[in-house]
Amino acid sequence: MDLASARRLAANCLCIGFEGHELPGGARELLSSGVRNVILFSRNVRTREQLTRLIGDIHDAAQGPVIVSVDQEGGRVQRLGQSIGVMQLPPMRTVGAAAAAAAAAGAQLARDLRALGFSLDFAPVVDVDTNPANPVIGDRSFSNDPAIVAQCAAAFITSMQSGGVAACAKHFPGHGDTSQDSHLELPRLPHAMDRLRAIELPPFTAAINAGVACIMTAHVMFEAIDPDVPATMSRQVLSGLLRGELGYDGVIITDCLEMQAIADRYDIGEAALQSMQAGADLALCCHTLDRQRSIIERVAAEATRSTTFASQLADSATRVAGLHRFASARPVTPTCRGCSVA
């Protein structure tokens, strides 16, 4: 594969974030070079008018299909506020007793996000909250009962995706029993496979059966599966367990590679490459332009060197294109570009 083609495919398989209320020049450059996936945070939002204008600018810069995504779960993870017309949902723990309530939450999020121009929501959390000392999951989870999590996750996903917004089940193969926050350090879990199959995996199986558009990886070391690298970078976890044993054929996206569980231990370009070699399709890099460029360059360089990886990268780009087709099945038309709604 020639370098120009490899860079284009590598860019197709990167999801970027950036600072500010306007599209910066570096992000615009990446979009024009083939990046087709963007995540926005509260740092990018001031008013409804400004947000819809920004999303429109992202589409214009990409000059092609683009996924604009957000973390809008409910509870303490809500990047979009009521002031821009997005209903504030309670934590999923509050929702978790009934699948009907989970379905209603998914439908509400789809209505709100689609109207703004979002096509992917990094929700729901399908981790099972089995550790009361967990500093990062807690009430983001539907329940400490895997059967309830599975039931509610499936209802949420079906409802959200019926409303035209792609869902993402996270964090595979399970972040619910850790005592550490992978934003800050690398958690390790010693659970045997029998435990994982009984507790952590059923909600992901339910999400897959519900047709979830993508699954996000966990920056957690699962010693029974792969004692050497975090799940995000493990072929045994992603290709063996998720694709092989669970039969998932949709998009796999990494959690942000700039989280300290990864960034404190690995070069970002190498981490992205190893994640994609392991089976991930999209590398998520939410902050730093230089790191985003380094991911494209490292992944592209490997695709020019290895025909095996070049083929794998092309397959990933095809799966990501499928996610774009899903998300654009109902055209994204921001309704407030040029209006004065605050």
**Residue among 71, 121, 226, 255 flagged as catalytic:** 255
- CB-CB contact of 67 with 32 (8 Å): no
The runs of H, that is alpha helices, within 13-137 are: 25-32, 48-62, 92-95, 99-116
Alpha carbon distance 185, 181 (integer Å)? 6
Interatomic CA distance for residues 233 and 217, integer angstroms:
9
C-alpha atoms less than 13 angstroms from C-alpha of 162 in its C-beta half-sphere? 13
Any idea what DSSP says for residue 124? -
Q: Under 8 Å CB-to-CB from 76, ≥6 apart: which residues? A: 91, 139, 140
Active-site annotation holds for 255: yes
10: which 2 tokens? 């590598």
Range 326-329, long-range pairs (CB < 8 A, 24+ positions): 326/161, 326/166, 326/213, 327/67, 327/119, 327/120, 327/164, 327/165, 327/166, 327/213, 328/65, 328/119, 329/164
**So where are the chain's domains?**
3-327
Phi, psi of 226 (to 5 degrees): -150, 105
Spot the catalytic one: 181, 183, 267, 287: 183
Q: How far apart are CA 103 and CA 155, in angstroms?
A: 5
Annotation says 287 is catalytic? no
- The closest alpha carbon to 30, from 309, 317, 295, belongs to 295
Going residue by residue through the chain, which has 342 residues, state the pLDDT in tens, using 9 for 90 and above: 999 999 999 999 999 999 999 999 999 999 999 999 999 999 999 999 999 999 999 999 997 889 999 999 999 999 998 889 899 999 999 987 789 999 999 999 999 999 999 999 999 999 999 988 888 898 999 999 999 999 999 999 999 999 999 999 999 999 888 876 778 778 888 889 999 999 999 999 999 999 999 999 999 999 999 999 999 999 999 999 999 999 999 999 999 999 988 999 999 999 999 999 999 999 999 999 999 999 999 999 999 999 999 999 999 999 999 888 766 643 344 444 333 322
Closest residue by Cα to residue 73 from 177, 188, 152? 152
Q: Does domain 3-327 sit in CATH 3.40.50.300?
A: no
Residue 136 CA to residue 304 CA, distance in Å, equals: 39
